[in-house]
Amino acid sequence: MIDQELARNADIAVWAAMVALAVAMLAFAAHLAVTGSGRERASEGVRPSGVDAQSAGAAAGESGRGESEGGESEGGESGGGVDVLAPPETDAPAPTRRWGIIGLQVTWLATFALVAAVVMRSLSVGRAPLGNMYEFALVACMFTLVVYSLWSLRKDRLWLGLFVTLPVLVTLGLAMVSWHTEASKLMPSLNSIWLIIHVTIATLSVALFTIGCAVALLYLAKDRAEQRGPVTGWLAALPESKALERITYGIHIVAFPLWTFTLIAGAIWAEQAWGRYWGWDPKEVWTFVIWVVYAAYLHARATSGWAARKATWLAVAGFVSIIINYAVVNVFFVGWHSYSGL
């Protein structure tokens, strides 16, 4: 029995999550602006080094000797040298984390709202909410927010908040406007335990790949800015490019085995449902294409002949393949996996 009222409540919870994400985006954007501006002003007040520091030290020494010979200074105060090793005096305030903390707190509210939406959708249909594009989008967005929120409890990832909440908000908007389907029973061919195993791991993989792509793009932008000269604006709020590249690689190291399991589990399910492990269905082909692209990224990243920047573009290409697989193949290609529900 389908509970349409509970399904409508689930949709309301999704809309509430979208409102919270919009607020979180604004707070995270303010955090980047304030932090970047603060670090930019702080970098302008760095004390001199090298030849300038030696010149300043020599001038300070001469001033000190002159004042010691003359006793007291002209103003009646005892003279003394300038301490060039003292921290520079600057009017630039320390960057505040207030806006970032607000953004993270509101992101947690959005996460709770989306978890509630997924639970209510599941209860309304009496099954795992993984039967069509709309439900897949909800669960993938939920995993993305959960991963980012939990990660932020262990590490300072406020600089990443805007670039996680933005794709999640866009995906939820498309889910509600273009991919939404009424609560309904599961198609007979999907009624299998492999639906939960295969699709759940797939959604978790997509969540990790989403965050990984966001960090990859930030690395490419920060690396380009560092090559041009001093980093200014909101890019100054980001970690150094080398750190961003390491984070990108680390996320994909976790996500790639999960996608590999998704591919294998899908083949096992296909054998049980259709009597063959592989049939060159468009969905199967693109799932394999995604695997190949990400395998190429990890291989290029581990190869000394490849620059990190070139290898990272392969990671971005992998996520583009995911978008094509989900938003194009599901909608416009007809095959055994035509379960979009549209």
Dump pLDDT digits (tens) for 282-312. Answer: 888 999 999 999 999 999 998 878 899 999 9
Q: What is the pLDDT of residue 91?
A: 43
Does some domain include residue 77? no
Q: What is the pLDDT of residue 335?
A: 55
Does some domain include residue 196? yes
Q: Which domain holds residue 167?
A: 4-42+95-332
pTM for this one?
A: 0.83
Q: What is the pLDDT of residue 259?
A: 97
Amino acid letter, 230: P
Does some domain include residue 220? yes
Does some domain include residue 37? yes
Q: What is the pLDDT of residue 334?
A: 59
Q: Residue 161 CB: number of other CB atoms within 10 A?
A: 25
Does some domain include residue 86? no
Q: How far is CA 55 from the centre of its chain?
A: 46
Does some domain include residue 65? no
Q: Using 50 as the pLDDT threshold, list the residues of the chain that sit under it.
A: 47-94, 340
pLDDT in tens, 244-257: 999 999 999 999 99
Does some domain include residue 99? yes
User: Which stretches of the chain are DSSP H helices?
Assistant: 4-44, 51-69, 98-125, 133-154, 161-177, 193-194, 200-228, 241-274, 282-302, 308-323, 330-332
338 φ, ψ (degrees, to nearest 5):
-80, 75
How many domains in the chain?
Answer: 1
Does some domain include residue 32? yes
